[in-house]
């Protein structure tokens, strides 16, 4: 057992974990932050994406002890301080960028990381950036559209409603 301490969504937390405990399980099982999802066991699906010190990270691919001392951001901390949806979340709702919602936390966290490094990505850049996030429901159309809209681009011309 090891003691880990970190800041999660701005709050300091700590816990006793085994060396092999993944960051995803620490968030879900120790902190009950179940918005971070686990969709695979090979680091491929991106349902578990969180931010660690501002970088997007697959939390199933990182040990909790590796995040000791880090600033961690999860989907639960994304809304505006008044509880309203942030720009990316709003765009996902506005453009129907989610269906079952299982991939959604990872998508939103990846989108946030993308827009931080590239505030006006092209369609191709978005599609390429989402390489590590699988969505089985949406066919990606409305996810890509939502991210373009969240970056302030006009998506009115994109085919279909």
Sign of torsion over alpha carbons 138, 139, 144, 149: negative
C-beta of 82: minimal distance to ligand FES in Å? Answer: 26
Q: Cβ of residue 57: shortest distance to another protein, in angstroms?
A: 16
**Maximum Cα–Cα distance across the chain:** 55
Q: Which does 68 bind (CB under 5 to 8 A by kind): another protein, ligand FES, none?
A: none
Question: In a 10 Å sphere around its CB, with 0-12 CB exposed, 13-18 middle and 19+ buried, how is residue 107 labelled?
Answer: buried
Is 149 near another protein (CB under 8 A)?
no
Q: How far is the CB of 22 from ligand FES (least distance, A)?
A: 9
| 8 Å CB contact between 55 and 112 | no
- Nearest residue (CB) to another protein, 23 versus 126: 126
**What tokens were used for 21?**
């405990």
- For 158, the 3-state DSSP assignment is coil
CB of 135 to ligand FES, least distance (A): 3
Stretch near ligand FES under the rule CB under 6 A, chosen from 26-34, 78-86, 100-108, 120-128: 100-108
Site size with ligand FES, rule: CB under 6 A: 22
Question: Collapsing DSSP states into helix, strand and coil, what is residue 154?
Answer: coil
Among 101, 117, 120, 152, binds another protein (CB under 8 A): 101
Q: Which of 113, 123, 61, 67 is nearest to 88 (CA)?
A: 113
Look at residue 48 and give the partner it binds from ligand FES, another protein, none, a contact being a CB closer than 5 to 8 Å depending on partner kind. Answer: ligand FES
- Other beta carbons within 10 Å of 90: 16
Contact 88, 78 (CB under 8 A): yes
Of these partners, ligand FES, another protein, none, which one is at the site of residue 54 (CB under 5 to 8 Å by kind)?
A: none
Is residue 46 close enough to count as binding ligand FES by CB under 6 A?
yes
- Partner that binds at residue 21, options ligand FES, another protein, none, CB closer than 5 to 8 Å by kind: none
């Amino acid at each position: 057992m090891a003691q880990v301490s970190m800041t999660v969504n701005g709050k300091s937390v700590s816990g006793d974990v085994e060396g092999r405990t993944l960051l995803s399980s620490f968030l879900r099982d120790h902190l009950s932050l179940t918005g971070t999802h686990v969709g695979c066991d090979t680091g491929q699906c991106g349902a578990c994406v969180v931010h660690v010190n501002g970088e997007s990270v697959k939390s199933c691919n990182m040990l909790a002890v590796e995040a000791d001392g880090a600033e961690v951001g999860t989907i639960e901390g994304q809304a505006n301080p008044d509880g309203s949806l942030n720009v990316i979340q709003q765009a996902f709702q506005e453009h129907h960028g989610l269906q079952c919602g299982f991939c959604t936390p990872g998508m939103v966290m990846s989108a946030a990381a993308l827009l931080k490094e590239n505030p006006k990505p092209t369609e191709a850049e978005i599609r390429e950036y989402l390489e590590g996030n699988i969505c089985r429901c949406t066919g990606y159309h409305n996810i890509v559209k939502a991210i373009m809209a969240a970056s302030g681009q006009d998506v009115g011309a994109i085919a279909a409603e």
